[in-house]
Structure 1
Amino acid sequence: MDFDMLGLKPRLIAALDEMGIKDPTPIQKQAIPPALDGRDVMGLAQTGTGKTAAFGLPLVQHLLAEDVRPAARTARALILAPTRELVNQIVENLNGYIKGSHLKVARVMGGVGINPQIKRLERGVDLLVATPGRLIDLMDRGAVNLGESRFLVLDEADQMLDMGFIHALRQIEPKLPKDRQTLLFSATMPKDMETLAATYLDRPVRVQVATSGQTADKIEQSIHFIAKAEKPGLLLDLLRAHDGEAALVFARTKHGSDRLAKQLTNAGVNAVAIHGNRSQGQRTRALEAFTDGSAPVMVATDVAARGLDIPVVKHVYNYELPNVPETYVHRIGRTARAGREGAAITLCAPDEMGELKDIEKVIKGEIPVASGRRWSPSQEEAKPKQNRGGGGRRRSGGGGPRQGGGPAKAAAKPGGANRRRRPRRSA
């Protein structure tokens, strides 16, 4: 099936051809026709499958067909995304689709000055791509009126739920017209997603090209069972075995990401860190260094699990396992994108067995073991208990006897490995 068979106009097909996009992906084949018909759509597909074009192309075609100009401080279409990186990726794609047309795209997000964004919105825009927190700031200042936004897209809706944006959505949605088209896209389908869809969508067409928790076929997954204190040494060995190849390393905390990137750089592996506490300029420079190869390793929190479309990523390392099991799927989806092959390597300490079991429930299978043996219940329970306070769950900390052949114990300890936090807003 070609793009013209989906109902797209020659102008958009020519733009796609100029971008090097020839054939539609499965999610695009299923989502574009009902979206062009004006139906609400609920799309489920794993990361890296072309969801941006699945909603972006119908939006652009609708806006071009109407051939009207936006009023001052309005947006004809609103796209909400959970992270700055995803906002930037969406805008980059939209700019390719609208090239040569009169349509205007604007982005609003935290981490950069708000005044230039206010000025950008003064004359109105056709497509507004925003993180929820900054959008509410602009609404409170009277800088944008959503009363003319007849199209709403919720991209990576499951992550917006994880990051606590549901309250922001409840503030934004009533400001939009009742008579609108809503498109919701997600990589997973947690229970709360059905409630979200019932609230914001009207008799949606449901399209699904991947089951919740399904990982890309071309990702080679493996796991090392290793004591926590020995993780830095093993990570260095693995990175040096693929010297110069782009690797994305996931840590659990912002402080831990900074410490780990510094440890790697001090050991001779040029690394940068990216997380929610970095300014947008710092995040942009880190991404540029990673993309151009001057820093082949990027250490990230889960702010980078969505929205990074960097084809050069060959290896993803779960240095620390995520608190939310579905996040594992998003993390490893940063490699093997657009049909390429990639590897996802997980380092599991004894106190992370609970997270591992949850992940394997989501992906419906065990991750192949590269070294060590699965930690036994007695080894998990042998760790000292640590009360996090506030009536929360008690989780264990500390390490355990190292298993399997691996590097000697490293002197440096990984940053933040004992800390557990709920996902936080990072826009």
Structure 2
Amino acid sequence: MAAEGLGFHEMGLEERLLQAISKLNWAQPTLIQEKAIPLALEGKDLLARARTGSGKTAAYAIPIIEHLLNTKKSTCEQAVRALVLVPTKELGQQVQQMIRQLTSYCAWDVRVADVSGQADISAQRPILMEKPDIVIGTPSRILLHLEQHTLSLCTSLEMLVIDEADLVFSFGFENDLKNLLGHLPKIYQAFLMSATFNEDVQALKELVLHNPVILKLQESRLPDSSQLTQYHINCEEEEKFLLTYTLFKLSLVRGKTIVFVNSIGRCYRLKLFLEQFSIFSCVLNSELPVHSRCHIIGQFNRGIYNYIIATDEHDLTDAASTDMVKKEKKHGKGVKAKDYEYGVSRGIDFQNVSTVINFDFPLTVDSYIHRVGRTARVDNQGTALTFVSLTELPLLHQVEEALTGENMDCALKPYRFHIEEIEGFRYRCKDAMRSVTKQAIKEARLKEIKQELLNSEKLKTYFEDNPRDFQLLRHDKPLHPAIVKPHMKNVPDYLIPPTLRRIANPLISMKKRWRRNDLQSSTQNRNKTYKKQNPLKHFSHTKKRRTKSAK
């Protein structure tokens, strides 16, 4: 077994790999990295469970890169030696980015290719013809390449990874994965990385692993209260919108925030509601093209957006969408399928998220854990706030029981907020909610899909040749099918509760100071101008000196 307290330098890693780790400012390995990397370097199969944000990607990427660098020393033949299977395209891009960061000092020796996107097979063929050392993709896309002979693994593959293994079957990849395994050699080293051990993971274990070491780390699935603060507040539908408006408009919630809802329609309803008050946000769901989704996540991580409204994997069973599909089938119309290889609450590395708001309560305990796991990652602090309606109380009790069973210091606290103090905002919120009709939501949904389809093509072609223009494409532009009233943008001082005036939006007092200074300076300038224009104010007489000749 691995020794206790091993650092990266004690693991016998190649110097260039250590340089890349140092460049990423990783002082010490996380618990999963400390346990998994030495075992993987010994050639053992691994079944590892660790919570979201614990460093699972690097735990398998580092051994793969180390193995490839050692193999290159003894052979010059170029071949695909490592395959990483992911359940979502967003996760595929994230894994590729992580591997590229870890190979920044040996990029010529270790090549990586991500084929999980929606590009045409023929467009990906030239990439695979170069035989990259590591190929990343979803099971369905990899199987397609294997069947069309654009990828061959039967003789060269040495390492296989299935990341977020508990999602692979639930995302409908069971048959694809079983068919894919028939194209692989009989002997290879395999890793299964997962946040939970369920029946699907046990089935994968039997299919893929050979006498594995099982790492079931003794840690709760969420950080304790010293790092993650979890609150819940009881409120009904109208109050959810009122609270969200107050938290954002008065800057009671600061930093990057993800708001989770349970359906795509709810995404656009909340976005249009916030637009009434000039609070702009991005929508992230399975209807948007994969290039747009990855671009939104990348720009959010760079701090271009503060608010994302997202659905998780449960939106794939959205009842409204199901009804729409039934109606389309009844009338004999074609139906555009959603992207089922999608998941926001799982696997995606949202960086430096300060707050997660569960606008709609998640439908399962696992979904709650994965949503809240978007914040308080690595050593960062985070806050989770969950809105709970009367009908959602049973779900809250399930979550509390699960968390209390894992860690007594990981329970949800009641959020002490006096709703009566913000009653002055209620009429504004009601006015805004009346403007967000079903027709407005439908129009907004169609408008954004059309915009993002165009943006996706630009991202795929134009921005590859013009990287400087990449920043110009924004995803939080107003959709404006709903009526927007200009006066809703500003918050009168008399509406702000006295108890919140000191902490609510420090910019308000600063704006007042600027306004007062501007008023004083403008008054002074106006007085000077008035004096210059009025001859009685600026007239001055100077007495002439008499000369001797005048005498």
Same fold at TM > 0.5: yes
Distance in 1 (CA, whole Å) between partners of 2:298 and 2:198 is 33
Which blocks of at least 5 consecutive residues in structure 2 are unaligned? 1-5, 313-342, 406-410, 439-551
Deviates more, 1:289-298 or 1:317-326: 289-298
* Selected match of 1:13 from 18, 24, 28: 18
Secondary structure at 1:16 match in 2: helix
The answer (yes or no) to whether the contact 1:103–1:126 under 8 Å persists in 2 is: yes
Secondary structure at 1:153 match in 2: strand
Q: What amino acid is aligned across from residue 133 of structure 1 in structure 2?
A: S
Which blocks of at least 5 consecutive residues in structure 1 are unaligned? 374-402, 417-427
* Selected match of 2:208 from 197, 200, 208: 200
Q: What amino acid is aligned across from residue 207 of structure 1 in structure 2?
A: L
Task: Give the Å deviation of 1:104.
Answer: 0.8
* Selected match of 2:81 from 72, 76, 95: 76
Distance in 1 (CA, whole Å) between partners of 2:421 and 2:175 is 48
Look up the match of 2:391.
351
Look up the match of 1:164.
172
Look up the match of 1:180.
188
Look up the match of 1:367.
412
* C-alpha spacing 1:15/1:350, structure 2 compared with 1 (3 Å): same
Task: Give the Å deviation of 1:215.
Answer: 4.1
* Selected match of 2:274 from 230, 255, 264: 264
Look up the match of 2:117.
110
1:133 correspondence with 2:178: no
Secondary structure at 1:175 match in 2: coil
Task: Give the Å deviation of 1:70.
Answer: 6.2
The answer (yes or no) to whether the contact 2:90–2:290 under 8 Å persists in 1 is: no
Look up the match of 1:33.
38
Task: Give the Å deviation of 1:150.
Answer: 1.8
* C-alpha spacing 1:216/1:84, structure 2 compared with 1 (3 Å): farther
Distance in 1 (CA, whole Å) between partners of 2:31 and 2:395 is 31
Look up the match of 1:220.
229
The answer (yes or no) to whether the contact 2:271–2:283 under 8 Å persists in 1 is: yes
The answer (yes or no) to whether the contact 1:7–1:36 under 8 Å persists in 2 is: no
Deviates more, 1:231-240 or 1:36-45: 231-240
Distance in 2 (CA, whole Å) between partners of 1:237 and 1:297 is 14
How many percent of aligned residue pairs carry the same amino acid? Answer: 29
Residues 172-213 of structure 1: CA deviation (Å, up to 9, x unaligned): 222222201111111122243223223321111112334464
The answer (yes or no) to whether the contact 2:253–2:355 under 8 Å persists in 1 is: no
Residues 284-309 of structure 1: CA deviation (Å, up to 9, x unaligned): 33224423433210111122212332
The answer (yes or no) to whether the contact 2:140–2:177 under 8 Å persists in 1 is: no
Distance in 1 (CA, whole Å) between partners of 2:263 and 2:76 is 44
Distance in 2 (CA, whole Å) between partners of 1:52 and 1:159 is 15
1:283 correspondence with 2:288: no
The answer (yes or no) to whether the contact 2:19–2:105 under 8 Å persists in 1 is: no
Secondary structure at 1:13 match in 2: helix
* C-alpha spacing 1:216/1:111, structure 2 compared with 1 (3 Å): farther
The answer (yes or no) to whether the contact 1:156–1:185 under 8 Å persists in 2 is: yes
* C-alpha spacing 1:299/1:39, structure 2 compared with 1 (3 Å): same
* Selected match of 2:378 from 316, 338, 356: 338
Deviates more, 1:26-35 or 1:110-119: 110-119
Q: What amino acid is aligned across from residue 76 of structure 1 in structure 2?
A: R
Q: What amino acid is aligned across from residue 93 of structure 1 in structure 2?
A: M
Look up the match of 1:42.
47
* Selected match of 1:51 from 39, 48, 56: 56
Distance in 2 (CA, whole Å) between partners of 1:323 and 1:372 is 25
The answer (yes or no) to whether the contact 2:223–2:376 under 8 Å persists in 1 is: no
1:83-102 mapped onto 2 (5 Å cutoff): 83-101=88-106, 102=109
Task: Give the Å deviation of 1:404.
Answer: 8.2
Distance in 2 (CA, whole Å) between partners of 1:111 and 1:255 is 24
* C-alpha spacing 1:169/1:161, structure 2 compared with 1 (3 Å): same
Distance in 2 (CA, whole Å) between partners of 1:15 and 1:156 is 25
Task: Give the Å deviation of 1:55.
Answer: 0.3
Look up the match of 1:309.
349
Q: Structure 1 or 2: larger strand share?
A: 1
Q: What amino acid is aligned across from residue 308 of structure 2 in structure 1?
A: M
* C-alpha spacing 1:244/1:344, structure 2 compared with 1 (3 Å): closer
Distance in 2 (CA, whole Å) between partners of 1:301 and 1:307 is 14
* C-alpha spacing 1:348/1:363, structure 2 compared with 1 (3 Å): same
* C-alpha spacing 1:198/1:264, structure 2 compared with 1 (3 Å): same
Task: Give the Å deviation of 1:256.
Answer: 2.3
The answer (yes or no) to whether the contact 2:280–2:307 under 8 Å persists in 1 is: yes
Distance in 2 (CA, whole Å) between partners of 1:155 and 1:330 is 15
RMSD of aligned C-alpha atoms?
A: 2.6
The answer (yes or no) to whether the contact 2:50–2:221 under 8 Å persists in 1 is: no
Distance in 1 (CA, whole Å) between partners of 2:394 and 2:149 is 47
Give me the TM-score of the superposition, normalised by structure 1. Answer: 0.82
Deviates more, 1:254-263 or 1:311-320: 254-263
Task: Give the Å deviation of 1:371.
Answer: 5.1
Task: Give the Å deviation of 1:372.
Answer: 8.5
Task: Give the Å deviation of 1:135.
Answer: 2.2
* Selected match of 2:163 from 131, 155, 174: 155
Distance in 1 (CA, whole Å) between partners of 2:173 and 2:81 is 22
Look up the match of 1:143.
150
The answer (yes or no) to whether the contact 1:309–1:334 under 8 Å persists in 2 is: yes
Secondary structure at 1:60 match in 2: helix
The answer (yes or no) to whether the contact 1:132–1:165 under 8 Å persists in 2 is: yes
Residues 366-403 of structure 1: CA deviation (Å, up to 9, x unaligned): 52121599xxxxxxxxxxxxxxxxxxxxxxxxxxxxx9
Look up the match of 1:233.
242
Look up the match of 2:321.
none
Distance in 1 (CA, whole Å) between partners of 2:93 and 2:291 is 13
Higher-Rg structure is 2
Look up the match of 2:69.
64
Distance in 2 (CA, whole Å) between partners of 1:215 and 1:326 is 15
* C-alpha spacing 1:192/1:291, structure 2 compared with 1 (3 Å): closer
* C-alpha spacing 1:42/1:335, structure 2 compared with 1 (3 Å): same
Considering Cα pairs closer than 8 Å and 6+ residues apart, tell me whether 1 or 2 has the greater RCO: 1
Distance in 1 (CA, whole Å) between partners of 2:272 and 2:47 is 42
Give me the TM-score of the superposition, normalised by structure 2. Answer: 0.65
Distance in 1 (CA, whole Å) between partners of 2:219 and 2:198 is 11
Secondary structure at 2:262 match in 1: coil
